[in-house]
Chains A and B, each alone.
Chain A
């Protein structure tokens, strides 16, 4: 597997665990091409993970960049290349927390309705939806995003990992460092919070 500059992102589903470990090992030995390959595999999931946690595109770009730079500088300390995925998500999560702590010290976090312009952000596929489905998708994303930003970080992290990143609960324990029971309970509570927000939205929509 050789990376070339500006290559298209490589879906994780197309990569075997052995190929991933081999790429991580080569990147640990100093291969820039293999680090680029790892970015191709994890750039998009990490970007979307950070986006759901922060709700800000500008912060997401900066934090994605910082996450991969941190991963590059610390990569040699990763003892088990097979754990790269969880290790990278942990770095991303820590970067988000650090950013939040810095922001809370300087300015209060804004939860303005207009902060996220979903109309300009929708994935290309959504443009193929019929207009009604597209409006529903836009509104649902806004509702879910507001519910996420309003909930405690420990609920938000695990909910995003389970529902949007499609991680198993076992994998989530490796990212957040909590017990399986704790993860299970936190996802349940987060689901209740999102369900309340969605119910309120659906009721408003029916009127």
Chain B
């Protein structure tokens, strides 16, 4: 094995991550190759230097406080709707987030469609206004015997001819 190919294994050995079957190979090569032996010593020195100089910071307490503030209500903790209906739970079995969002979008579209159709068919403002009137009649001017009357039959758009 050439020096160039062997050196990644040397640094792996210094980091304690070299596979046991390669360790012997690296040892044998380094013993006979001054350049690789020098490389190994330099890297070992650098590791010691870095270990001595490593600065570790403690995360400030405010990070957890901010996390806690934003944690959503979870099962057993929340009350009301959040306690029994969790949007994430509903789609938890769907692994890909894009598919999950698509499924949520379809559900919302379906709900919006139901509301829209309801509004157009029977629960719109005009229908509500008409349904408040039990019955009414329309006279044709000049002919008091020819009238239409609307009867509250559940369908405000249906006019029945009155033969009175």
Contacts and interface: CB of A to CB of B under 8 A. Distances in A.
Interface of A: 6, 9, 29-32, 35-36, 39, 43-44, 47-48, 51, 57, 61, 64-65, 68-69, 72-73, 76-77, 118, 121-123, 126, 136-137, 140-141, 144, 162-164, 168-170, 181, 184-185, 187-188, 191, 194-195, 198
B76 A191 contact: no
Contacts of B56: 44, 48, 123
A18 B7 CA distance: 37
B71 A163 contact: no
Contacts, number: 114
Nearest to B12: A184
12 contacts: A30-B76, A35-B71, A36-B64, A64-B59, A72-B72, A73-B88, A123-B56, A163-B15, A163-B47, A168-B15, A169-B12, A187-B12
Contacts of B64: 36, 39, 43
Most A CB within 10 A of own CB, among B9, B50, B52, B55: B55
Contacts of B75: 29-30
Given A6-B61, A64-B63, A170 B17 contact: yes
Closest 6 CB pairs of A and B: A169-B17, A188-B8, A140-B53, A30-B75, A47-B59, A30-B74
Given A39-B64, A61-B63, A191 B11 contact: yes
Given A64-B63, A162-B15, A72 B71 contact: yes
B74 A51 contact: no
Interface string B39-53: 000110011011011
A49 B98 CA distance: 28
Contacts of B140: none
A interface: dominant SS: helix
B121 interface: no
Contacts of B142: none
B129 interface: no
A77 B59 contact: no
B2 interface: no
Q: Most chain-A CB neighbours within 10 Å: which of B7, B17, B49?
A: B17
Given A44-B57, A77-B92, A198-B46, 18 more contacts: A32-B71, A39-B64, A47-B59, A48-B57, A51-B57, A57-B57, A65-B66, A65-B70, A69-B67, A77-B95, A122-B55, A123-B57, A144-B53, A162-B15, A162-B17, A163-B15, A188-B8, A195-B43
B88 to A, nearest CB: 6
Contact of B55 (A36, A69, A73, A121): A121
B60 interface: yes
Contact of B8 (A43, A118, A185): A185
Contacts of B54: 141, 164
B77 interface: yes
A122 B62 CA distance: 18
Interface string B14-27: 01110000000000
A35 B68 CA distance: 10
Contacts of A121: 55, 57
